[in-house]
Amino acid sequence: MGAAKSRLKSIFGFLNHEVKILVIGLDNSGKTTLINHIKPSKASSFEVAPTVGYSVETFTKHNLSFTVMDMSGSSRYRSLWEQYYSTISAIIYVIDSTDKIRLCVARDELEELLEHSEVKSKGCPVLFFANKMDVPGAMTPLEVMTEMGLQMITNKAWHITSSNALTGAGVDEGISWLADKLLERQDYDDRSYRK
């Protein structure tokens, strides 16, 4: 078992309530490839529900569920993603660091996501993967961070790490960060609940 899977497995037992993670990014950024490194081998479900130009993949394990969606940049499907926003606890945003041309689209989509009323008020952590780091000429995480304007995110914990979704390199580091944040938040939620 890879470190990312075992790290996730180690938090399954500690989560008292359901945690929903939204995996999002432009099409072709590497979401499906990356999620295969996270998906437990015995995940209870993995559905691919494609319609023309739109697909949602989900898997669930104990209290942890992942929903993977393409942001096609097409407003036609926006209402379909938005129905998931109210229940999410964390966001994984996958960026193709070789796609300099569409980075501004990825930035616009991120701004729109973070400004959405259901997301804006949440303290959910956001993990960015600067993916395809293996490709010569790929932007560094620092360049991606600057171009995406990540410094603008001041009301959420966020982290960026480079990844190669083909080999899984970098995935563990990102997932470990996210797992720690989810556990911290759960402690916080439990304390608030007990008050």
Q: Which residues are near Mg ion by CB under 5 A?
A: 32
Q: Pick from 11, 21, 29, 38 the residue near ligand G3D by CB under 6 A.
A: 29
Q: Point out which span in 13-21, 115-123, 128-136, 153-161 binds ligand G3D (CB under 6 A).
A: 128-136
Of these partners, Mg ion, ligand G3D, none, which one is at the site of residue 111 (CB under 5 to 8 Å by kind)? Answer: none
Verify binding: residue 39, ligand G3D, rule CB under 6 A: no
Residues 6+ apart with CB under 8 A from 149: 107, 111
73 is in an annotated binding site: yes
Interatomic CA distance for residues 63 and 163, integer angstroms: 26
Interatomic CA distance for residues 37 and 20, integer angstroms: 17
42 is in an annotated binding site: no
Verify binding: residue 72, ligand G3D, rule CB under 6 A: no
27 is in an annotated binding site: yes
Listed residue (95, 97, 102, 92) closest to 57, CA to CA: 92
Interatomic CA distance for residues 10 and 79, integer angstroms: 34
Of these partners, ligand G3D, Mg ion, none, which one is at the site of residue 29 (CB under 5 to 8 Å by kind)? Answer: ligand G3D
State the nearest-atom distance from the C-beta of 82 to Mg ion, in Å. 19
Interatomic CA distance for residues 7 and 21, integer angstroms: 15
Backbone angles phi, psi at 109, to 5 degrees: -65, -40
Verify binding: residue 33, ligand G3D, rule CB under 6 A: yes
Comparing every residue's Cβ against Mg ion, the nearest one is: 32
Backbone angles phi, psi at 67, to 5 degrees: -125, 125
Q: Point out which span in 44-52, 129-137, 140-148, 173-181 binds ligand G3D (CB under 6 A).
A: 129-137
| Residue closer to ligand G3D, measured from CB, 11 or 138 | 138
195 is in an annotated binding site: no
Tokens 């295969």 -> residue: 36
Listed residue (139, 119, 120, 114) closest to 129, CA to CA: 139
Total residues at interface with ligand G3D (CB under 6 A)? 16
Interatomic CA distance for residues 114 and 121, integer angstroms: 9
Residue numbers at the binding site for ligand G3D (CB under 6 A): 25, 27-33, 70, 131-132, 134-135, 164-166
Summarize the annotated binding site for Mg(2+) as residue ranges: 32, 51
